[in-house]
Protein backbone atom coordinates (compact mmCIF):
# COMPACT_ATOMS: atom_id res chain seq x y z
CA UNK A 1 0.00 0.00 0.00
CA UNK A 2 1.38 3.42 -0.90
CA UNK A 3 2.37 5.83 1.85
CA UNK A 4 -0.15 8.41 0.66
CA UNK A 5 -3.06 5.99 1.15
CA UNK A 6 -1.79 3.87 4.06
CA UNK A 7 -3.42 6.00 6.78
CA UNK A 8 -6.61 6.63 4.81
CA UNK A 9 -7.10 2.91 4.17
CA UNK A 10 -5.67 1.53 7.41
CA UNK A 11 -8.83 -0.51 8.05
CA UNK A 12 -8.18 -2.51 4.88
CA UNK A 13 -4.47 -3.35 5.16
CA UNK A 14 -4.91 -6.75 6.83
CA UNK A 15 -3.31 -5.55 10.08
CA UNK A 16 -5.77 -5.44 13.01
CA UNK A 17 -3.47 -2.99 14.86
CA UNK A 18 -3.94 -0.21 12.32
CA UNK A 19 -6.98 2.04 12.22
CA UNK A 20 -7.89 3.96 9.10
CA UNK A 21 -8.63 7.67 8.97
CA UNK A 22 -10.41 8.55 5.73
CA UNK A 23 -10.06 12.29 6.45
CA UNK A 24 -6.29 12.31 7.10
CA UNK A 25 -4.23 14.58 4.85
CA UNK A 26 -0.42 14.63 4.61
CA UNK A 27 1.42 17.73 5.83
CA UNK A 28 3.03 18.22 2.41
CA UNK A 29 2.28 17.20 -1.18
CA UNK A 30 3.50 13.64 -1.63
CA UNK A 31 6.68 13.63 -3.74
CA UNK A 32 7.04 11.32 -6.74
CA UNK A 33 9.72 9.00 -5.41
CA UNK A 34 9.56 5.48 -3.97
CA UNK A 35 8.41 4.74 -0.44
CA UNK A 36 10.96 2.03 0.37
CA UNK A 37 13.53 2.60 1.86
CA UNK A 38 13.50 6.11 3.27
CA UNK A 39 16.54 8.06 2.06
CA UNK A 40 15.97 10.82 4.60
CA UNK A 41 16.04 8.29 7.43
CA UNK A 42 19.12 6.58 6.02
CA UNK A 43 20.91 9.94 5.87
CA UNK A 44 19.84 11.27 9.27
CA UNK A 45 20.24 7.97 11.14
CA UNK A 46 23.62 7.46 9.52
CA UNK A 47 24.77 10.90 10.64
CA UNK A 48 23.34 10.48 14.14
CA UNK A 49 25.00 7.05 14.52
CA UNK A 50 28.31 8.51 13.34
CA UNK A 51 28.03 11.33 15.90
CA UNK A 52 27.27 8.85 18.70
CA UNK A 53 30.28 6.74 17.72
CA UNK A 54 32.53 9.80 17.42
CA UNK A 55 31.52 11.25 20.79
CA UNK A 56 31.42 7.83 22.45
CA UNK A 57 27.85 8.35 23.70
CA UNK A 58 24.35 8.74 22.34
CA UNK A 59 23.40 11.10 25.16
CA UNK A 60 24.34 14.51 23.78
CA UNK A 61 21.87 17.40 24.04
CA UNK A 62 21.71 19.60 20.96
CA UNK A 63 19.30 21.94 19.17
CA UNK A 64 18.42 21.90 15.47
CA UNK A 65 17.04 25.09 13.93
CA UNK A 66 15.19 25.18 10.61
CA UNK A 67 15.73 27.88 8.01
CA UNK A 68 12.22 27.18 6.66
CA UNK A 69 10.02 30.18 7.51
CA UNK A 70 6.97 27.86 7.81
CA UNK A 71 8.59 25.57 10.38
CA UNK A 72 6.61 25.53 13.62
CA UNK A 73 8.40 25.31 15.92
CA UNK A 74 11.50 26.41 14.03
CA UNK A 75 13.86 24.68 16.46
CA UNK A 76 13.86 21.43 18.40
CA UNK A 77 16.13 20.32 21.21
CA UNK A 78 17.05 16.65 21.56
CA UNK A 79 18.58 14.81 24.52
CA UNK A 80 20.23 12.20 22.30
CA UNK A 81 21.16 11.46 18.71
CA UNK A 82 18.66 8.58 18.74
CA UNK A 83 15.81 10.94 19.71
CA UNK A 84 16.56 13.14 16.69
CA UNK A 85 16.71 10.17 14.34
CA UNK A 86 13.42 8.76 15.64
CA UNK A 87 11.78 12.17 15.15
CA UNK A 88 12.60 11.91 11.45
CA UNK A 89 10.83 8.52 11.32
CA UNK A 90 7.67 10.19 12.66
CA UNK A 91 8.07 13.29 10.48
CA UNK A 92 8.25 11.33 7.25
CA UNK A 93 5.07 9.45 8.21
CA UNK A 94 3.21 12.65 9.10
CA UNK A 95 4.34 14.25 5.85
CA UNK A 96 2.70 11.36 4.00
CA UNK A 97 5.96 10.38 2.33
CA UNK A 98 6.76 6.99 3.85
CA UNK A 99 5.25 4.09 5.73
CA UNK A 100 6.80 3.25 9.11
CA UNK A 101 8.47 0.13 7.68
CA UNK A 102 10.18 2.20 4.96
CA UNK A 103 11.37 4.70 7.59
CA UNK A 104 12.67 2.00 9.93
CA UNK A 105 14.39 0.17 7.07
CA UNK A 106 16.04 3.42 5.98
CA UNK A 107 17.09 4.03 9.59
CA UNK A 108 18.62 0.53 9.82
CA UNK A 109 20.47 1.09 6.54
CA UNK A 110 21.95 4.41 7.70
CA UNK A 111 23.05 3.03 11.06
CA UNK A 112 24.64 -0.01 9.42
CA UNK A 113 26.59 2.09 6.93
CA UNK A 114 27.75 4.47 9.67
CA UNK A 115 29.00 1.60 11.86
CA UNK A 116 30.88 0.05 8.92
CA UNK A 117 32.44 3.37 7.86
CA UNK A 118 33.40 4.24 11.43
CA UNK A 119 35.08 0.85 11.92
CA UNK A 120 36.76 0.47 8.53
CA UNK A 121 37.31 3.84 6.90
CA UNK A 122 37.74 6.61 9.46
CA UNK A 123 41.24 7.41 10.57
CA UNK A 124 42.45 9.87 13.22
CA UNK A 125 43.60 13.24 11.94
CA UNK A 126 47.35 13.75 11.71
CA UNK A 127 48.90 15.44 14.71
CA UNK A 128 48.62 19.15 13.98
CA UNK A 129 51.93 20.83 14.77
CA UNK A 130 52.02 24.57 15.23
CA UNK A 131 55.25 26.07 14.06
CA UNK A 132 56.60 29.55 14.49
CA UNK A 133 58.26 29.25 11.08
CA UNK A 134 55.01 29.21 9.06
CA UNK A 135 52.35 31.88 9.06
CA UNK A 136 49.94 29.61 7.16
CA UNK A 137 50.04 25.90 6.40
CA UNK A 138 47.97 25.23 3.28
CA UNK A 139 48.37 21.44 3.49
CA UNK A 140 46.16 21.16 6.56
CA UNK A 141 43.30 23.08 4.97
CA UNK A 142 42.73 20.79 1.98
CA UNK A 143 40.10 18.10 2.03
Q: Where are any strands of DSSP class E within the chain? A: 62-65, 75-78
Count of domains forming the chain: 1
Report the predicted TM-score, pTM, of the whole model to 2 decimal places.
0.70
Q: What is the pLDDT of residues 5-31, one digit of tens each?
A: 777 888 888 888 888 888 888 777 877
> Sign of the CA dihedral 19, 23, 28, 29?
positive
**pLDDT at position 128 over 80:** no
- Determine, yes or no, domain membership for 68: yes
Classify residue 60 as left (phi > 0), alpha (psi -120 to 50) or beta.
beta
> Sign of the CA dihedral 67, 43, 82, 90?
positive
- Determine, yes or no, domain membership for 15: no
- Determine, yes or no, domain membership for 131: no
- Determine, yes or no, domain membership for 116: yes
In contact, 5 and 21? CB cutoff 8 Å = no
- Determine, yes or no, domain membership for 55: yes
Residue 42 phi, psi dihedral angles, 5° rounding:
-65, -45
Q: What is the pLDDT of residues 45-95, one digit of tens each?
A: 999 999 999 999 999 999 999 999 988 889 999 999 999 999 999 999 888
- Determine, yes or no, domain membership for 19: no
**pLDDT at position 32 over 90:** no
Query: Residue 141: what pLDDT?
Result: 42
- Determine, yes or no, domain membership for 87: yes
Query: Residue 127: what pLDDT?
Result: 64
Tell me the residue range of the domain where 102 lies.
34-121
- Determine, yes or no, domain membership for 134: no
Residue 76 phi, psi dihedral angles, 5° rounding:
-135, 140
Half-sphere exposure of 85 (CA within 13 A, CB side): 29
Amino acid sequence: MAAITAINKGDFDGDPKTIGDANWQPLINTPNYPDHSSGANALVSGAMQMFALYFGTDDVTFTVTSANPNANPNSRTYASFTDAALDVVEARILQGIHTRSADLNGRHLGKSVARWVFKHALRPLKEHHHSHHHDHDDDDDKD
